[in-house]
Amino acid sequence: MTHSPTDLTVYYDGSCPICGWEIDLYGRMRGAERIHWLDLTTADEAALGPGLTHESAAGKFHVRDAAGRLVSGGAAFVEIWERLPRLRWAAKLGKTALGRWVLERAYRVFLRILPVLRRWMGEREVRQPDNP
């Protein structure tokens, strides 16, 4: 597969129900075909590229642009939003000084509550009658 210069690689945790839901949402949007979605649960270390390990990728959200620049945290979401026409407005806001500040703080809070959300969502999935 050849990639255009506009491509972005998104590293996500496919075992996380919240992450999977969000990636699925993005993946259905126009522009998502320009993005390479890499599930950390199935990727080997070599697929992550330079400067990224499974441990660091699992601890914080990362993307890599076509030039090889690694971006993490709130700024990584801006990189995705820029490539999805429906969310370009959010990317524009996220690139402002105030937007960057808000995104980073919100992302830090999210990282703190993520383990609780994962447990809660996992329990909900188990309790559903259609789930084996």
More confident residue, 98 or 20: 98
Q: What is the pLDDT of residues 56-87, one digit of tens each?
A: 888 889 999 999 999 999 999 999 999 999 99
DSSP-assigned letters across all residues of the chain:
----TT-EEEEE-TT-HHHHHHHHHHHTSTTGGGEEEEETTT--HHHH-TT--HHHHHHS-EEEETT--EEETHHHHHHHHHHSGGGHHHHHHHTSHHHHHHHHHHHHHHHHHHHHHHHHHHHHHHHSTT--
State the pTM of this model.
Answer: 0.81
pLDDT class of 126 with cuts at 50, 70, 90: very low
